[in-house]
Structure 1
Amino acid sequence: MSKFEQSSPNDDGPKIRAETWFALAIASFAITLVIATLGALWVFGSDTDRLMVQRAQAFTPFGAAMLAAVTFFTVAWRGVLNTAQLQHAAEQLAQARRQNDAKDDENLAKLLQEGAKLVSETTKQSQVLAGIATLETLIADPKARFATHAMDLIADYIAASHQEAKLQRATNAAIRAMGSAAKLGLRSRVGIDFFTNNKKHRWRVVPGLSYCKYEGGTFHGREYAELARSERHVELDNVVLTRCPIERADRIIWKDCTFEWCTIRSFDGHYLDRNVFSRCDFSDATITEPFTGTFELNSASSGNYYDTGKPPNDGVNDDLMEWLTEEEPIPF
């Protein structure tokens, strides 16, 4: 083999092998021993004490230099040898970690399969609860290796069970699991279309979905505020919103919705004539786009107002102002 080893991409340059340093140390020791012997014979072979001292003083620097060379080669050999041993130990540790990670992945995959099997038993609430608990273990994994897959399974279950009153307990557990995942910054790839024929059905927000659509039912202030804070795409179709703070958001679409006793802070004027407003407060509301509708198009809306001296602003026209009344604020 060559005296020099080719360096790896992370090395600064070529490196001398431990065997080479060892050979240099042995050679320097042998040479030093021979020269030291010859030097001793030369020094002690002097005819007078004065000459012996002179020869000893002349030879001392060369002897010290040779001893330094032996020491240098020996230390270098030990250093390279120790480095090689440390690298070998690090490689063994990395290999052990890779093996442990592979074993962990295998165990987590088995948990995912078991959780999916239990959750699929939609008619057996106790098994579903066990399945959700199993999937929550994957969500809590610090490396989140199967967290998204677990969330997808839980979201699919919620989509299938949210209208089943007899499965409400398991559905609630699934929503809580999605909430725990969302707090960790995780998000499912699943979106859900929620539907109900019951206008009084009060929706609960399911965190961690990629998107959601609610058709029918109602949102109250607290639930709607939670929905509005999320970063997903949301579509509301024929939903009743009661006492909700409303602000314009590009990711929220309102279609044929009814706003009751809501506080309108900002709104897209294009949506004003596509929804119904009843006793909503438009004080200092910002209409982000000009209102192009007419009072007749929005005749189902009634009782909307703004506080005295606080009319809506920006894209406001006469049709919108005729649609609102100015009222004195009620003292708290």
Structure 2
Amino acid sequence: MEKEHRSEDRVSENPTDNDKAWLRAAVVSFIFAVIAFGFAAGWVFAGADESSNERAQAFAPFGAALAAIVTFFTIVWRGVLNTRQLEYQAAQISHQAAQLEQTRRQTEAKDEETLAKLLIDAAKLIAEKDKQPQVVAGIAALDIVIRDPKHRYGVEAMDLLADLLLDTYGDQPLSRINRAVLQALGNGEKLGIMSRVEGKFTRPTATFTNNGYWHYIPGIPSLSFTGGSLSQQAYERMFPRIKLLREVTLNGVEVDLTTGRFHKCTFTDCRVTAARWYDFKDCEFVNCDFSGATIKRPPSRDLDVDLRTRRNFYRAGDPPYDQHGESLAALFWDYDEIEHEDDDIPF
């Protein structure tokens, strides 16, 4: 109770911010000043000329003080009034801002509802895989969802596209549907959106007449390929995301076989920087450059493999070595010794 009483006392001691009170004070002080000046004028001019001057000089300070008081009350009144007007304007601006925020939220909710409906409709369209026009239309709708500046359903759209690619890309050549999917996935990847689907693609092992080259696949963070072939460009672009290659033919790439990504693969015209002894049992190498490569092998065990038959080689003065620094030149051709009847080696 004492604290409340003290608080009320402190509030009562502060100047009021009531504009009407300051207006009344200004009017009262003005009326008082007019009356005072009237009496002062009668008092000054009632005497003789010499005494009138003396009386006027005597009253002058009081007149200035009265004028200052009136001016003070007037200025305070105007200040309080301006403050009230500014507060009113601030309240209006705050109200307008609240209305704009509410409108923005309603618009965002409407946009989100529209995108969700578009996502559902697209999922229905791409489910009809035997109807190419509908599937392509569904892919276009998913591309619109992906391009949403706020990426509200971008990941979900990328997941649907990745699933569609897994279902349609593999044994068959690249179709119109596959091209549309890859384009949409590429748009998402450029925007920093990645699918959560693990990409495992399978096709028959490459042959001389059917290489089955895999195309670059964007937007899928983890890729595994079984069968087919990978060109140097496709391999290098996808390499950070490739987890496993099985029975894949690689052409003209630089590889480190110790990463454990390669199983039963064929390497043609490749540059091998590192390998393990059992990689030569598991994989095939044709016209590959092993210059300066490090080949890990068990202690006191010879590499009973024939790598010269398929014309694997090293550059003069830079043979491959095992992990202990022992030269393995005897297992490979010296490049300068190879007969180039057919110009098979492009290096």
C-alpha distance in structure 1 between counterparts of 2:172 and 2:68, whole Å: 98
How far does residue 61 in structure 1 lie from its aligned partner after superposition?
A: 2.3
1:244 aligns with 2:253: yes
**Whole-Å Cα distance in 2 between the matches of residues 65 and 269 of structure 1?**
97
* Percent identity over paired residues: 29
| Deviation sequence 1:281-320 (CA, Å, 0-9, x none) | 23355x4x84548522676984322222344579464374
The Cα of 1:322 is off from its aligned counterpart by: 3.6
Match of 1:304 among 302, 307, 312: 312
Q: Which residue of 1 aligns with 2:22?
A: 28
Long gaps (5+) in structure 2: 1-14, 46-55, 338-344
Give the match for residue 85 of structure 1.
92
Q: How many residues align?
A: 306
User: Does the C-alpha gap of structure 1 residues 187 and 119 become closer, same or farther in structure 2, counting only changes over 3 Å?
Assistant: same
SS at match of 1:197: strand
Cα-Cα RMSD:
3.0
Conserved 8 A contact 1:291-1:316: no
Letter of the aligned partner of 1:237 in structure 2? R
Matched, 1:125 2:129: no
Q: Which amino acid aligns with 2:331?
A: W
Whether the 8 Å CA contact 2:319–2:327 is kept in 1: the answer is: no
151 and 38 in structure 1: CA distance in 2 versus 1, 3 angstrom threshold: same
Runs of 5+ unmatched residues, structure 1 = 1-20
* Structure 2 counterpart SS, 1:62: helix
Q: 1:48 aligns with which of 33, 44, 49?
A: 44
Q: Residue 56 of structure 1 aligns to which amino acid in structure 2? A: G
What residue in structure 2 maps to residue 215 of structure 1? 226
Shift, 1:95, TM fit: 0.5
Say if 2:243 is the partner of 1:234: yes
* 8 Å CA contact retained: 1:276, 1:300: no
For residues 174 and 316 of structure 1, do their structure 2 counterparts lie closer, same or farther at Cα, with a shift above 3 Å needed?
farther
Asked whether the 8 Å contact 2:143–2:184 carries over to 1, the reply is yes
1:15-40 deviation line (CA, Å, top 9, x unaligned): xxxxxx99612211111211221122
Sort the Cα spacing of 1:210 and 1:166 in 2 relative to 1 into closer, same or farther, 3 A. Answer: closer
- Aligned partners of 1:243, 1:24: CA distance in 2, in Å? 88
Which deviations, in whole Å up to 9, do the C-alpha atoms of 1:153-196 show, x marking residues without a partner?
11111111113638821112111211121122110011121111
* 1:276 is aligned to 2:284: yes
Equivalences for 1:1-332 in 2 at 5 Å? Answer: 24-46=18-40, 47-48=43-44, 50=56, 53-163=60-170, 165=172, 168-199=175-206, 200-228=211-239, 231-246=240-255, 253-264=261-272, 266-267=273-274, 269=276, 272-273=279-280, 274-285=282-293, 287=294, 290-292=296-298, 294-296=302-304, 302-312=310-320, 315=323, 317-318=325-326, 320-328=328-336
In the TM superposition, residue 43 of structure 1 has moved relative to its aligned partner by 2.2
SS at match of 1:206: coil
TM-score under structure 2 length normalisation = 0.78
